[in-house]
Structure 1
Amino acid sequence: MQTPSTTNHSSFVNSNTVHSNGVISTLIDKVNQSIVGQENVTKSMVIALLTGGHILLEGLPGTAKTRAAKTLSELLTLEFSRVQFTPDLLPSDVTGTQIYHKEESSLSFQPGPIFHSMVLADEINRAPAKVQAALLEAMAEGTVTVGGNTMKLPEPFLVIATQNPIEQEGTYPLPEAQMDRFIMKVDVNYPDASAEMQIIDLVRKEELGEVKAGNKEPIELVGAAEGIAQGKEEIKHIYTSQPMKQYIVDLVMATRFPHLYPQSNLAAWIEVGVSPRASISLDKCSRAHAWIEGRDHVTPDDVRSVVNSVLGHRITPSFEALSNSVTSKQIVDELLLSVPLT
């Protein structure tokens, strides 16, 4: 039997989500036509956008991370900027700077690339700490402070950061506090043989002009800020039952007290568990995933579909895990095997 709150929520979702949910599904399909073999990346970027979070894409060069971000922004008709992070980058190169006008003896603010709705921070771990700190304020607060003045960033605002997992020379690893600000971290892997063949065919068609590069036709509703806001509002009304909330809490607590699961490898693999921001993010992303899939309630599959991307980068692995090349995915998979759904 449904509770009154569930019934009310269901009527809201059913009466309002049909159009916006359909457009989001169309959006995902169109991005996937241009970014072959990276369906998980596409869905994760859309979840980050709908939850008001930010996403970190980690993958080897040539895995279409930049293309994915640019294609999404073009389909959404959102203002897009790309910042190539380098060791000599300054905070003002990202946030903007005050310019002095000698003739008028006045200062004016020249906005930086952060003042766009979608910002691609390419190879973010190549920037020094001061630049990362400037970006952290923008991600956490949605504001930028320059010369003592605080300015709001546009709405929606999404940072899509990328980094290379194998090239460590000349890089500045992101501190745990900044990693925690990314609602999701997604591993972008090489496509399989079938997808590789489709990529060759797609690029060949683009060269011949048989298809538009990136399938860049704009989509109505989603391209407008009002449409994005509508999707965000609908996700707030997705129902999460008490058992589902308990499951989320149990997963989070298991990272903090792994010794409570002696039959698993959790105690040996986890040095430090995740923060309360992780449980909030897992709840939000589970609801967004359910909404994209056309459901008005969260299921265990919704939680399991996003848990690797939400918790993996927040867990600090132990020395034993690192020395045995245990990945964050293996740790989260062990978490799922150890924590029962009550």
Structure 2
Amino acid sequence: MQLMYGLEAKGEQDEFIATVEEAMALTSQYTTGNHPVDVFPFLRHLPGWIPGAGFQYDFARCKAAITYVKEAAFALMKAALDRGDSTSCSLAILLSRIDGRSSDAQIAYQEDVIKNVGLIAFEAGSDTSYSTLVSVFLAMTLYPEVQKKAQEELDAVVGPYRLPGFEDRGALVYINAIVKEAMRWHVVLPLGVPHRTIEDDVIDGYFIPAGSMILANTWAILHDPEAYDNPEEFRPERFIRDGKLDPTVRDPYAYAFGYGRRVCAGRYFADEALYLAIASILHVFNITAPLDEQGRSIKTELRQTSGLLTYPKEFRCVVTPRSEEAASLIKGAVSSA
């Protein structure tokens, strides 16, 4: 919200956050579910009160949530600009590039494009990155040796008196491998985003007519045992050779962010954000499995929700500062924020 609109979220109960979550849940449900209108397209002309056409109400609810997110946040941001408030955010920069000499229709069109940019970035960028970060917390509880190696690298490169920065990324080989492995191990969009062919095509002897819906099995690609040894295991070392990232290993970036013209426009931002979050979290926190009444670690496993966008199913972990120095870094970061 701050990056795109210059607005500060008020927490989990924030109106925009709640509406975005509703819009994402409904979009996922209706994209992956089975609906009579998919089989009998003429049903789209029926009013919702007719038996069998209740989906009209569901789709209207989904559209209303998405429209609200698109319009309301933009309106608040633009109102702040009109008042002369300093709003440093992505959409304000885009608005400043509109030629004021354009016609009203041209300005309205360009503003609508900017609204859609904000909507897509907000909807697509928040839940996907969150899902990957949650999987990292789970991986650290399951593979403490990975966490130990990461923290040893961070201690050697960054030291105890500051947080990691973008300038450290080139030297943090193991952290970069964790980012790659997180996207491979837990695939946020297992079947990607549906595409549709615009003309007839032939692939390896298979005729694909125009208008065909195409789903890419990204999960299978990133769990292919011929490309990744023991693909169910979280092992960042698979991406490292001779102390450097191995370019010969199948790169999750080429698949996790989608394909073709419609590849994720925010993939570079997402990559940098995941790197900085993962490096900072592992630098200052220990993430461990909870203990039972006998003091034994409670084992869990990666179990994913279903739908267009997936999350690790609920699990528990214990998060503690690594040291007094780490605790002061955390407090300093919170204070500056």
The normalised TM-score by structure 2 is 0.22
Between structures 1 and 2, the one with greater strand share: 1
Higher relative contact order (CA 8 A, sep 6+): 1
Which has the larger Rg? 2
Provide TM-score, normalisation by structure 1. 0.22
